């Protein structure tokens, strides 16, 4: 689901959602789109982007019972820092 936080910086008019990636989760946009609130029991989340976005979103997800996937432990949060 594409979302940007600086539509004025785009080369053309942006007609999609505006905000931080975290707001897809905290603002209820995914709940509305999917018709339910995703949980760690039924959802895996892949985060790719700025380290701060990944940190903040991981904290939000962990507070809801999600766990970061590591080599030593399986989890539902998969991430790739890209910056």
> In this predicted model, what pLDDT tens digit does every residue of 3-16 receive, in sequence order?
899 999 999 999 99
Are 17 and 25 in contact by the 8 Å Cβ rule? The answer is no
Q: Torsions phi, psi of 79, nearest 5? A: -140, 155
Q: Which residue's structure tokens are 């989760």?
A: 25
Q: What is the CATH number of domain 3-81?
A: 3.40.50.80
- The two tokens of residue 37 are 């609130």
Per-residue pLDDT tens over the stretch 66-77:
999 999 989 999
Which candidate, 32, 35, 38, places its Cα nearest to that of 65?
Answer: 38
What is the predicted pLDDT for the residue at 2? 82
> How far apart, in whole angstroms, are the C-alpha atoms of residue 33 and residue 6?
22
């Amino acid at each position: 689901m594409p979302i940007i936080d600086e539509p004025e910086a785009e080369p053309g008019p942006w007609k999609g959602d505006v905000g931080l990636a975290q707001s897809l989760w905290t603002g209820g946009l995914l709940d509305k789109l999917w018709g339910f609130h995703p949980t760690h029991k039924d959802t895996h989340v892949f985060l790719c982007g700025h380290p701060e976005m990944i940190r903040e979103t991981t904290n939000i997800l962990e507070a809801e019972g999600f766990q970061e996937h590591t080599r030593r432990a399986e989890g539902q949060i998969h991430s790739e820092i890209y910056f």
